[in-house]
Structure 1
């Protein structure tokens, strides 16, 4: 099931109301089915894509901003990201935004004009943090890729296959050029600054902020049911997933 889950959820990112099968003319990965009218038509999901865009354009209030400060190999972080944050985003992406900051309990040390990092779970975690940070800087499809990595048995080893599923145009070589270059170091330095600027200072990871605020109550509610928390905090008209009054009437069938 864990092998199939990343692919299934990648499909749900762009097709929130489901789809039956890929059309022979569909050449885009699932997460890009709604990237253009042509792709939507070729993949047989035009109606679903248009309905999804319709819901987003009707939202007049600012989305609920969910921030996750985490570590790539932290078991609790991985569990929250894959089983709470990403599924909630799939259902409520029209009323919420997500900011991922992979750094957590790492230590940053100046080394001349550069920085070196020590991570709680060792060098592999520093590498995982850096890979995910570079991916976020290189593609808008970063969240499905990071979900794919974090839900796998081997977070780092799965990076290349997760890229191929979601963004085949972005090679692992390009990502590693960022990881091993000045860009990756500067991006990680920004993660360090964001984490150190937290008020109150983080005491553990995963550390969740809602609209830039962290309290024990918000953390508890986010960990127990982020979906309920986001729905309750959104000030605009609730989407259908929250039990709102917006209704879409259409019929969809998967014929045998």
Structure 2
């Protein structure tokens, strides 16, 4: 939400309270909503100091960058599929306000100099095709790409799930555009870009899934991510923790029947 939207919400809140008799600003409050929180004096004069304090908290939370998680993976690698479906996606669903996810499908793929088969993949040609399809989907579908990739990776057949998953989460994107990307130059360009990102990793990746946080890899963070990515993201976030983070550590009272 932009700052102007916050002021609009503040204005509507005060207007609603005014109409219901709960809010009675002094006649001397001659300031427009955009200036209500400019100073403590104005906030007190317009009787919105509580709302301005809440707005200050929102500002401080939004000034903290989210936890940046990047996953380097192969689309048909069983370990990658488990991590996406059981760790990364559920964590993102719960913590998407404090984390971002970048997917780089390439993993252990190797470049070949021949033009007929430019890539060779650990799990065969189907994986090369699926890697490129997912790269195309990420490029073409934008903010819903993660939902589509999760839909594919959690399916029994990743490759054959691609088209129905695209139709489910991005109905405005035609499958023909994905197919054109796959069979044309765009798909190869996207894969070469993913190859460059993967080769630039420091240290050099030795397996997939390979996870970095804010561009950095450590074995400790990888071990923790594999066991409880949710708790790790909550801990790495430097801002005010969302309620779901603190709720995760609450111990429930034991009961018996």
TM normalised by structure 2 equals 0.71
* Secondary structure of the structure 2 residue equivalent to 1:139: helix
Alignment partner, residue 139 of structure 2 = 137
User: Could you tell me how far apart the structure 2 residues matched to 1:243 and 1:179 are?
Assistant: 44
User: Cα gap change, 1:188/1:56 in structure 2, threshold over 3 Å: closer, same or farther?
Assistant: farther
User: Aligned to 1:149, which of 132, 152, 156?
Assistant: 152
- Is the Cα contact below 8 Å between 2:61 and 2:239 reproduced in 1? no
Q: Which residue matches 2:162?
A: 159
**Length-normalised TM-score, structure 1:** 0.71
Tell me the alpha carbon deviations over residues 2-35 of structure 1, each in whole angstroms, 9 at most, x when there is no partner: xxxxxxxxxxxxxxxxxxxxxxxxxxxxxxxxxx
- Tell me the number of residue pairs that the alignment of Structure 1 and Structure 2 aligns: 190
Structure with more helix by fraction = 2
Find the aligned partners of 2:238 and 2:82 in 1 and give their Cα distance.
Answer: 28
Give the Å deviation of 1:57. 9.3
Whether the aligned pair in 2 keeps the contact of 1:115 and 1:185 (CA below 8 Å) is no
Using the alignment, how far apart are the partners of 2:246 and 2:117 within structure 1?
48
Question: CA-to-partner distance for each residue in 1:93-130, whole Å, 9 max, x for gaps?
Answer: 01101111111111012346x97000000000001100
**Deviations 1:209-253 (Å, cap 9, x if unpaired)?**
111111110100110111110000101111111128xxxxxxxxx
Q: Which of 56, 80, 84 is matched with 1:81 structurally?
A: 84
SS at match of 1:121: coil
* Structure 2 spans left out of the alignment, 5+ residues: 1-56, 248-257
Q: Report the RMSD for the aligned CA atoms in angstroms.
A: 1.9
**Cα offsets for 1:162-194 (capped at 9, x unmatched):** 011101111221101001111110100000011
Query: CA 1:91/1:56 → structure 2, altered by over 3 Å: closer, same or farther?
Result: farther
- Of 221, 233, 237, which aligns to 1:230? 233
